[in-house]
Amino acid sequence: MRRHLARRPTGKQEQRRLSVGAEPRADGTHFRVWAPSSSSVAVVLSEPGGRPIGLPAPLTPHEDGYFQGLVDGARPGTLYWIALEDGSRFADPASRFQPEGPHGPSEVIDPHVFAWTDAEWRGLEERKPIVYEMHVGTFTPDGTFASASRELAALAKLGVSIVEVLPLAEFPGRFGWGYDGVLGFAPTRLYGRPDDFKRFVNEAHAHGLGVVLDVVYNHFGPDGCYLERFSSTYFTEELTDWGRGVNFDGPGSSGVRDYVLANSRYWIEEFHLDGLRLDATQSIKDSSQPHILAEVAETVRQSARPRRTWIVGENEPQDATLLQPAERGGCGLDALWNDDFHHAAMVALTGRREAYYTDYLGTPQEFIAAAKYGFLYQGQWYRWQHQPRGTVTRRLPASAFVAFLQNHDQVANSQAGLRVHKLSTPSKCRAMTALLLLGPWTPMLFQGQEFQASAPFLYFADHHGDLRQAVREGRREFLAQFPSLAVPAIVDTVPDPGDPDSFARCKLDHAERDAHADVWRLHQELIALRRSDPAFSDADHFEVDGTVLAPQAFALRFSAPGRDDRHDSFADRLLVVNLGIDTLLDVLPDPLLSPYPGRQWRTLWSSEDPSYGGAGTPDLVQPDGWRLPPECALVLAPEQA
């Protein structure tokens, strides 16, 4: 016998924490759904597998296209569908969990069950964090929140301060990067349940690590997205690189904006996250005031108070106005990824200038400019895109620019997903790692970089049928922009993103930390030096200047402004990087290289230390001048003569 689910009249607006989704209470669960394209909305309880139980419980229509109501029979753990006027059933657009994936029913989740122990956590105290990008599914062989939690102690010992987790929004299939998410409030079932992610965050905080989540507000995935059935105004006709754009400023956009702002609040409040990483912000079009990104940033900060958060954006055109406060026409983000630094570094490390590396030389001047100004392109003509690139970064702190040698995109953007150490020499990699971790920017490591993981990082996505074939062909077309790859013998060997082996090959083996202990020690000691030495840890308040020493060598000087000759030598450092051959500098005409009176430079640290696998470093200062070892980075400090 089918039973009818009682729905209680709601009268005035029910007191809710979030504007959408299912919120359990003592007397049932309150549902609120934005569905202006439907004249009626109901909740249908479900058995595992999707079979409906009982009759639909209709929700009461409210203004602006919302429907809401309290359903007696729904409790935490209850599976349910949202039914529209034509009888079609879908997952709740604001579902908190999808145990059977995006095509299955949603589950009511009680956000108050998890017992947090991070009451003493005050957020991100460090001005310039060390960021660590992680894909949960490949970070460990098990690929779960639980197994990732067991590795957090090692990251804390390494010196990491923020773990930046790739997107978790539910997506179809058995594996994927997470950028094809379709249900933004539901942590994917592939890595565990919502409380497992909370346990991961709680454990991270216990180790002094912040957690930032990568969120995708610029598009939704192509499979399992039913938002348009709830409202035809979710999307615009303008196409992005990933499909139709999201409607943030057109007719009917109020519910879309509300969905995104509720989502940003949800991750911060319910999961105690320490910030967000905003994917592909160049594809988030909004002519409104304030801009949706400014509202997201403000929502994150308000939701976390008094905890300090960190909001970082990806922006391929490098629009630095995103870093300006909203009252000055910006969006108030804390940082942006700096692709310019990466591209210059890759050219210096590999010698290859093709595709989007075409407009970079890998020269000392580029690294000096990156240290002083952040982006290299700030409106100059960019041949690769046949248009100007970047905007002016004046008066922005160096910490606002995130530098990296690897990230998920850049490692995968090769035929075999090779990491940097497979593409360059060990000594060059050590020297460039020193520049990355000691430079005035905010450095970011990609999972496994700290011990030169042997696992590649490929593009993988578990789609089926025509979509799988389209993704495979799209990947080949993308890689064809690299002339060195655009030959049949190589293109034909591009791993199939839909092959489970493409995913399995990317899983890290953390036992390699011991096998490559010298590389891990290099990263750990550089991070420790950055933290302990104020010239590196607080470079926003130090003057950073640089000079070219040789065709592939340069120096960056970190010094405290306004100090006289008697200043503490601890506040003056010279970072010397030589990516070329052994070089004798028999004349030193640049005053930037001069120590203070009565002092001389001594080597404080060297990338060629034998404990890192290096060949050893002779004294830099020789009777005939400075002798720069090949492919080496040195930190010099003044000492009493």
3-class SS letters over 203-236? HHHHCCCEEEEEECCCCCCCCCCCHHHHCCCCEE
Distance CA 246, CA 226 (A): 14
Distance CA 70, CA 75 (A): 11
Catalytic site residue from 92, 180, 270, 279: 279
For this structure, is 110 an active site residue? Answer: no
The distance from CA 552 to its chain's CA centroid, rounded to whole angstroms, is: 31
Q: Are 355 and 481 in contact (CB under 8 A)?
A: yes
Question: Judging by beta carbons within 10 Å of its beta carbon (0-12, 13-18, 19+), is residue 477 exposed, middle or buried?
Answer: exposed
**Strand, helix or coil for residue 557:** strand
Residue 440: CB atoms within 10 A of its CB come to 25
Token code pair at residue 3? 């039973």
Token code pair at residue 632? 């080496």
**530: closest CA among 427, 434, 638, 406?**
434
Q: Concatenate the DSSP letters of all residues of 49-61 into one string.
A: TS-EEEEEEEPEE
Q: Concatenate the DSSP letters of all residues of 121-156 into one string.
A: --B---SS--EEEE-HHHHSSS-SHHHHHTTHHHHH
The distance from CA 503 to its chain's CA centroid, rounded to whole angstroms, is: 20
For this structure, is 180 an active site residue? Answer: no
Residue 48: CB atoms within 10 A of its CB come to 11
114, 262, 511 from 25: Cα distances, Å: 16, 19, 46
Question: Judging by beta carbons within 10 Å of its beta carbon (0-12, 13-18, 19+), is residue 568 exposed, middle or buried?
Answer: exposed
Where residue 390 falls (left for φ over 0; alpha for ψ -120 to 50; beta otherwise) is left
DSSP-derived pairing of the beta strands 79-84 and 89-90: antiparallel
Catalytic site residue from 314, 366, 450, 572: 314
Catalytic residues: 279, 314
